[in-house]
Structure 1
């Protein structure tokens, strides 16, 4: 059967608080020891039932310095002795209680006093140190805390009392938010540091439950710190962060003695960061906010100290962004107009090449007609059977070669001019474009030139086919004249 987590934690901490007992805890383990008395015997007997019932190997017992098995000790004996209990892996207690799943990270704290006075300020790294491993990952985290009155947390963290860990959490737990994820932040902030100190602010965001003010203070500070970092341009460490606005500032990320942060400041910062990372134009939006911040932050003041400046900076940034968008729309319209003009030039190239190709075909058809007419109209020429002479064969086949060479050169010239003009236009517009993506530009070019290219290539295919027929007809002139009945009439 599952372990009674709250009762187990209660017995362990109660044993540590008995007269003459000592208790110590860290992130992973806990230890308590002392002298035997009636109260201790009773607690140890109750703990033994829990350990034996769940077959827990992570809670170890020592009596008089020797390891003992929980199911072999008679705790009703009145003999006094020294005892010691060690929880070698607190996470095993959570597993025995079926309190965690494989897709979540979890931590257990038996002592609320240790969590508040030692772990949060000195071990967690939440106020500017090296973050605890549980916070460095982007996976959701559950913190089980013995002695907490009510659960609270956010989308990525839940702080849960051990006495009610089986109760379902509200829908805000694991819900998506508009706050930026780490991958988006890394595209905007340049981290010049060897240690992995950056996680998304969502990890510390508290949105639901009855908050414990002493605990939420640390999470609010951490959220504010990482949210403000996401608005900066360069991060070198907790003592140096760079803002590149109307002034370039190099300031500390946090102050040495963190102050309180109000709910209004958290709300304003949340809305500002969500707005900055809401769409694809993150760089412009962040810059508008930083422009105001860089003017208002005093020299030597830390970034988190300036959280009270976020609200007015955000208001001004939104107002200025409207004008930026209007200016960009004007520039975008002008850029579209320029593209349309340049596209017209490319279309003219295709049309000119097609017309010249057709014109050359007509010229060569007239030349062929002249050659045939000169050879056919003369009755004497026919009577003397000159059309079957070697000289006539050479004449017609030479003209066939001329047609083949002519069509090759002309089609090569037409295609080369058309393709080169298209490539020059595409390359140039890819360089000078400023208001549209490469895919958007390419789609516009393809849609505009598609019917023109279809007409051009269809013309090329038809004209080349005609040239091939003409060249073959000249190469086999005798067969061609027989088909038209010219030689029979002679």
Structure 2
């Protein structure tokens, strides 16, 4: 309602004063020479800006001096040069109730001039700063837009932005695989310039569709350079002009085909570079090199995208088969490494039982074979020295076995990780760590617990050996 009122008052000023109009994105200037016309339109204009809480956007001048609205109306005399400046930035910066920004153009001609010069890659482009944004153009015959743009007339102010279920890539997503060489900041904010609909259909001004197509195209190349140049690396390496200086007609069908291609490449995070490469391999074979990319691509894009999808499906199927084979080899190697832990535990337990049995045999046969001499053995402390030697042996044996086993397991694990990282082609690091943790890590934890229990048994037996004379005396007494 506010803009409808502003347009009506501007019409009155235009019809009453026949002023000179100057308009651009950020301002509207009206100037003329006063000839005793009715000043009520000036007062109405001031009132509507005040009511809309954007009074600071309006400035009145007589000659080169600025005035408040009341002083301007009171002081304006015949033959005075007057000027009204409307600073649109005040309106643009103010966020509207629906969460969007708002601007207007009184002149369709000036709107067309501005849109033809606007560069979507410049950081200063208003769409890159204010989003979403609605632009109201007086008496324009159609309306069009996308998820973050809406251009309409004052009678379609309730029109809504396009709702898209497709998630388009962010500037960071694009720059991850597209290399930009530019001295100035080069912005690729796809979602802020995208055009997806028009009412009636085929009524979108070419400049808006062209900007939408240009920014979509920059998502489908390998390198963007200054001076409107791009590089495609497929079967051939092509240096091409993006769109050139000629007026290239763009239709919504081609724009939608570009959106499909971008969505296919960036829809999933994994293997974006592969999907882009497959598409460019077909494009670089078929495209006409004598024309800019924006002119030649519509003739080959649909077929190239279809073939790229088919090749990608085949590669994914082949990769899945190779992945299963690699997974099988991995699990086989994990089982071998798990067996290493079990073997170390079994070996330690076997050595413990062997050492204990040997000690029993030695003591039982050699020392206790003559029961009558047992007391003498205790009296001269010979048996004490024998058991101290046994205790020392058990401690040393446990330490040496633990060091050797720890070193062996550690080296085997490191070598396993190294060779798997070198030879792994179809499995991500995350998958590799997941399979390893679910198999080897559980076995390792269980084996370490049992291993420590056996080491504790070694220490306990050594303790008994060190204190055997005392223990024997207590048993005898």
What is the TM-score when the length of structure 1 is the normalising length?
Answer: 0.87
- Quote the residue 2:312 is aligned against: 321
What is the TM-score when the length of structure 2 is the normalising length?
Answer: 0.89
> What do residues 54-88 of structure 1 show as CA deviations (whole Å, max 9, x unaligned)?
5713212223554332224557998453321112x
1:362 aligns with one of 350, 353, 370: 353
Whether the 8 Å contact between 1:252 and 1:300 is mirrored in structure 2 is: no
- Quote the residue 1:90 is aligned against: 88
How far 1:414 sits from its partner (Å)?
Answer: 1.6
Which structure 2 segments of 5+ residues have no match? none
Whether the 8 Å contact between 2:91 and 2:103 is mirrored in structure 1 is: no
How far 1:103 sits from its partner (Å)?
Answer: 5.8
- Quote the residue 2:69 is aligned against: 70
- Quote the residue 1:113 is aligned against: 109
How far 1:206 sits from its partner (Å)?
Answer: 2.2
Cα distance in 1 for partners of 2:74, 2:156 equals 30
How far 1:35 sits from its partner (Å)?
Answer: 2.0
Cα distance in 1 for partners of 2:441, 2:95 equals 62
> What do residues 328-366 of structure 1 show as CA deviations (whole Å, max 9, x unaligned)?
122112211221332233133223322221221122112
- Quote the residue 2:392 is aligned against: 401
How far 1:256 sits from its partner (Å)?
Answer: 1.9
Cα distance in 1 for partners of 2:328, 2:451 equals 31
2:210 aligns with one of 213, 221, 226: 221
- Quote the residue 1:30 is aligned against: 28
Cα distance in 2 for partners of 1:9, 1:389 equals 122
How far 1:236 sits from its partner (Å)?
Answer: 1.6
Cα distance in 1 for partners of 2:11, 2:368 equals 121
Cα distance in 1 for partners of 2:282, 2:465 equals 81
Residue pairs, 1:453-468, within 5 angstroms: 453-468=444-459
2:252 aligns with one of 247, 260, 263: 263
Cα distance in 2 for partners of 1:264, 1:150 equals 18
The count of corresponding residues between Structure 1 and Structure 2 is 473
**In 2 relative to 1, CA 73–294 (structure 1 residues): closer, same or farther, beyond 3 Å?**
closer
Residue pairs, 1:109-258, within 5 angstroms: 109-116=105-112, 118-122=113-117, 124-126=118-120, 130=122, 132-137=124-129, 139-165=131-157, 167=158, 169=160, 172-173=162-163, 175-210=164-199, 216-258=205-247
Cα distance in 2 for partners of 1:153, 1:81 equals 43
How far 1:377 sits from its partner (Å)?
Answer: 4.0
> What do residues 15-39 of structure 1 show as CA deviations (whole Å, max 9, x unaligned)?
3576652111222222111122465
- Quote the residue 1:81 is aligned against: 80
Which structure 1 segments of 5+ residues have no match? none
- Quote the residue 2:329 is aligned against: 338
How far 1:132 sits from its partner (Å)?
Answer: 3.9
Task: Look up the SS of the partner of 1:225 in the other structure.
Answer: helix
How far 1:131 sits from its partner (Å)?
Answer: 5.6
> What do residues 126-152 of structure 1 show as CA deviations (whole Å, max 9, x unaligned)?
4xx746432334842332333334543
Instruction: State which drifts further: 305-314 or 142-151.
Output: 142-151
**In 2 relative to 1, CA 414–131 (structure 1 residues): closer, same or farther, beyond 3 Å?**
closer
Cα distance in 1 for partners of 2:201, 2:108 equals 12
**In 2 relative to 1, CA 7–102 (structure 1 residues): closer, same or farther, beyond 3 Å?**
closer
2:471 aligns with one of 463, 480, 484: 480
Cα distance in 2 for partners of 1:53, 1:366 equals 103
Cα distance in 2 for partners of 1:38, 1:453 equals 98
Q: Within the alignment, does 1:100 sit opposite 2:107 as a pair?
A: no
- Quote the residue 2:45 is aligned against: 47
Task: Look up the SS of the partner of 1:57 in the other structure.
Answer: helix
Cα distance in 2 for partners of 1:389, 1:137 equals 98
- Quote the residue 2:289 is aligned against: 299
Cα distance in 2 for partners of 1:289, 1:260 equals 24
> What do residues 201-237 of structure 1 show as CA deviations (whole Å, max 9, x unaligned)?
3222223452686754222111211112111111122
Cα distance in 2 for partners of 1:40, 1:125 equals 42
Cα distance in 1 for partners of 2:137, 2:173 equals 33
Whether the 8 Å contact between 1:152 and 1:210 is mirrored in structure 2 is: yes
Whether the 8 Å contact between 2:35 and 2:79 is mirrored in structure 1 is: yes
Task: Look up the SS of the partner of 2:151 in the other structure.
Answer: strand
**In 2 relative to 1, CA 54–407 (structure 1 residues): closer, same or farther, beyond 3 Å?**
closer
Cα distance in 1 for partners of 2:50, 2:167 equals 47
> What do residues 64-121 of structure 1 show as CA deviations (whole Å, max 9, x unaligned)?
554332224557998453321112x2133467xx7726964443333222111x2111
Task: Look up the SS of the partner of 2:225 in the other structure.
Answer: strand
Instruction: State which drifts further: 261-270 or 318-327.
Output: 261-270
Q: Within the alignment, does 1:286 sit opposite 2:276 as a pair?
A: yes
> What do residues 412-438 of structure 1 show as CA deviations (whole Å, max 9, x unaligned)?
212221222122112221232122211
